[in-house]
Structures are given as C-alpha cells and as structure tokens.
Amino acid sequence: MAEIRKVIIDAGHGGAEPGAVYNGRQEKNDTLQLAFDLGSALERRGIRALYTRVNDVYDSPYDKAAIGNNSDADYFISIHRNAMPVPGTASGIENLVYSDSGTAGRLGQNIGDELAAVGWTDLGVKERPGLVVLRKTEMPAVLVEAGFIDNEKDNEFFDANLAATADAIADGILKTFEEEEAAAGGEAGELPGYYMVQTGVYRIRRNADTELAELAARGFPAFLTENNGLFYVRAGAYRRLENAVAVEQSLRRLGYGTVIVGA
C-alpha cells in the first residue's frame, strides 16, 4: 500500500450519459453528490480522497479504470444508483465486485455492514466480473449501488441520510484498511516497514477520536488503531525516516507530544 492511505472515488456516469433516470432525477447527479460527501468523510479519517471526475463530464469505464490505475490509490470505489425494469419493485444497497474473495470481497462486505447499520437494506456482495471498472482496475475495487433511483422511499432515505451514507461507506473502507494492515503483520493497524508518527495513546475511544479529528482538521493524514484495549492516534506512516521526522517536528511545533514508532 502507499505511504498515505488513498482511495479514488468514481462518480458513476456523467455528461451526456446520465445513467438511470426516474421522474427527472438523474443518476449522474446523485453519484457526484455522494462522491463529494464520501471524499470529505474519508479525509476526516485521514484517508486521501481522489476522484475520477469532479464535474458533469463523461469518461468511458475504460478511461475511469485507467485514471484509477494511474492514481496510486489503494482502493477504487465506484458510486452508482440502482434501477429495475419495473419501478418501485426493489429497495436497498448492494456492493458489486469482480470476485467476492480477497480484499475486494472484504471491502464490499464491510461497506455493506456499515450501510445496514444506518438503515439501508443490505442486498449483499455480488460478483460482476463483466463490469469494466471492476475488471480493469489493478487495485481492489467495489461498485456501490446506493439504493434504487426508481424507488421513492430509497430516494427519500438517500436525500435525508446523504452524510450518514457517506460516513458509513468511509467507515467500511477504514475498517478494511485496518484489517489488511493488521493481517500483514505487527500489532493491529501497523504497516510493516513503515515509520509512524504517534501523537497519543488513550484508554477512552472518544478522547482518541477528538485528537484524530483535530489532526485531520489540521491536514495531517491521521488514523486510529486499537490494540489490547488501547487506542493509538497516529499522524502518518512513511517508508523514509526523514519524512516521518519532518512530520514529527511539525507536530511538536504545534504542541503535540510525539514519538516515532516503527513496524
């Protein structure tokens, strides 16, 4: 994985290709709106957000996969809205993957679990190997179908819970990062071969969350790990010691008590 956790967000469709349309509502607009909210939610969690599009333009699925592959991102998240041949006959979210095994499958499951926790009906993780943005991307990729655009109740829930939906997807992504990093070795959340700048250790989660939010607001790539009941707040993970030292010095000037830990 890259030194800083990165996710590229693909707002489905765009430009002359509106996607699914229902009563004047266009999928391309909903996906861009959710993409921006998701990007903000990821940045608050210390994850850098990148985008395949930031306005109403069209790029082919092959173009989007190429943009993702050139981004150096760890994960590719494509945002869509679902639709049925007969409007109003289905409801809920589902996560599409090339294969439901490995990191992509785990990522899809974690996102689905978090979306279910905020009130969406989770229709599960489904394999769609024919989709270009899943087949041609070189990193783990998930296509999130964020409710059915032809279902009025799903649209009402989407509009009323846009921020919560973005936060849920971001939490699923963060959980996957932490699981992957823990599985790679070392204590939970550590990246083997990296220098991490630690700013605090807490027994109470909310205290750690407060510092995490403060660091993120200051622009640091902060993240939270847990081990043996303790919560560790860290402001970056770097391959090169000098990069970690530079960040540590910046944090010390701001009044943080820091330590560099290696894994």
pLDDT tens column, 155-181 = 999 999 999 999 999 999 998 988 887
The last residue of a domain, from among 147, 178, 209: 178
In this structure, the answer to whether residues 29 and 148 fall within a common structural domain is yes
Domain-located, residue 169: yes
Domain-located, residue 66: yes
Q: Which domain holds residue 200?
A: 186-262
pLDDT tens column, 205-243 = 888 899 989 998 888 888 888 877 788 888 887 777 888
pLDDT of residue 187: 43
In this structure, the answer to whether residues 193 and 159 fall within a common structural domain is no
Number of domains in the chain: 2
What CATH number should be reported for the domain holding residue 169?
Answer: 3.40.630.40
In this structure, the answer to whether residues 125 and 193 fall within a common structural domain is no
Domain-located, residue 147: yes
Residue 239 vs residues 1, 195, 202, 211, 233: alpha-carbon distances, Å = 11, 6, 26, 24, 18
In this structure, the answer to whether residues 191 and 174 fall within a common structural domain is no
